[in-house]
Structure 1
């Protein structure tokens, strides 16, 4: 029994440690530069949530995103800049890109976006992970 518990613990630890995030850089409306970091893309079930954060390259604050990807590569990411959602990304994975449209929370604004996968450093990943945790704590109080 002890051996089984030890193996289960090791397996769970390896699975959590193996989850890596992916970094994407690109534009909204062909002019607004953003950087997006997503985790959960390699879970493999298409039912597991994606979590991440993104920032406008001209600003230092981060926005939280939560969403899902289906087995066709379509993705929906709900942006949270406050306790309420502030925008939605609807797109599709195409090779090393995510392309689609961003919509404001009232759907009065819609802009195309295109993001290309980039190499993520440990320092960048740590900043984005910290932003995800901080935003999740902030919004859990509402």
Structure 2
């Protein structure tokens, strides 16, 4: 019986060999002079929205984090930030003000319909979006502020 392999040992060997092959296939060792790196795309982190200004990327994350406290909505934040034109310095505040006014109007509709909790949530988000508009406002002496 010493020369025979049991089914259990055979199965274990097959599983170990399969795992080693899969692991080896997943590991891609690229020994190159570095010329290949020029052609590869640089991956951005999921939270980098692609602003020219890295501070606005951080501000974007800051307001996205307010969703946990119901101070913001993920969809509203993403939609607002996607409309920002980085070539226009007034675009950031303008887009946040548009969103804030839209949500404030929605809050008034809820309030007139007697939905006080929904109205309060809208007013809370709207006030937060007005604050977001003040980040990177180009003219701090503007009468609108």
TM-score by length of 2: 0.28
Structure with the larger helix share: 2
Name the larger-Rg structure. 2
**TM-score for both structures, normalised by structure 1:** 0.28
